[in-house]
Amino acid sequence: MTARNEIREKIAIATKMLLAERMIGPFGHCSARVPETDLFAILGHKDDHVKDASQISSDDVVLINEEGIVVEGDLDVPGERHIHLEIYKKRPDVQAVVHAHPFGCVAFSIVGRSPKPIWHLCTVFAEGIPIFDSSIQIDTPELGQKVSEVLGAHKAVLLKGHGVAVVGESIEDATVSAVSLERSAQLEITASALGDVREIPTSELTEDLVSLGLTKDEFVRAQWDYWSFRIQEHHKG
């Protein structure tokens, strides 16, 4: 399998994961750099057709250049491609981006604060998550630049009343991190109804990962494999 096809397959799997977690619907998308090229792979779409999750495949992923023009594939490119493209321009370390609209994260963005590190799977968000203080659609390069500036060196940025953008060293990393962030947000909302929410110290979060005997990559891979298996079993049924 070529690098391009492998990236396409992974984006299709990531999309099914995000759909299963109700983080995206007709809108929302993930992307990744195509190794050894200046191209990016991103989920394409047709305005008049929404596919069932079980039907999504690598054929639904298009390749675009740095200007956001489709160079390979038969579908349209998402209007908010500029979130992805401008983050890639500003952050050479970022290999993948997930843009989703999960209710928990959106709820936090509405009240103007980010989820606290209260769950051991959210080590990477311990330094906080900035908020882009506008709910406007990010459909121009200029707006994409503003989002990337607010993101800075962080792992994610909340978009007020809109959604979230999460970055990663791979499509697996970005997807697993996005799912973990939303679950943490939902946990905090639930826990706050029971009493005061207490943060987990960063040192404990780090020690918890080390105690499992896993590197960061192994930790991400274990979660990716688990959710991939769940998706496959769900669609078999």
Report the pLDDT value the prediction gives residue 234, as an integer from 0 to 100: 62
Mean pLDDT of the chain: 89
Q: How would residue 50 be classed by pLDDT, with cut points 50, 70 and 90?
A: low
Is the pLDDT at 137 greater than 90? The verdict is yes
Q: C-alpha distances in angstroms, 63 versus 3, 85, 203?
A: 12, 12, 40
| Rounded average pLDDT over 142-152 | 98
The distance from CA 73 to its chain's CA centroid, rounded to whole angstroms, is: 22
The region of weakest confidence among 5-14, 69-78, 97-106, 222-231 is: 222-231
* H or E element at residue 183: helix 171-192
Is 0.85 surpassed by the pTM of this model? yes
The distance from CA 225 to its chain's CA centroid, rounded to whole angstroms, is: 17
According to DSSP, residue 78 is labeled P
Q: What count of Cα atoms within 13 Å lies in the side-chain half-sphere of residue 138?
A: 32
Ranges 40-54, 65-79, 201-215, most confident: 65-79
Fold of 3-236: L-fuculose-1-phosphate Aldolase (3.40.225)
Encode pLDDT of 94-116 as tens digits: 999 999 999 999 999 999 999 98
How many angstroms separate the CA atoms of 217 and 197, rounded? 29
How many angstroms separate the CA atoms of 139 and 107, rounded? 22
Q: How would residue 52 be classed by pLDDT, with cut points 50, 70 and 90?
A: low
According to DSSP, residue 142 is labeled H
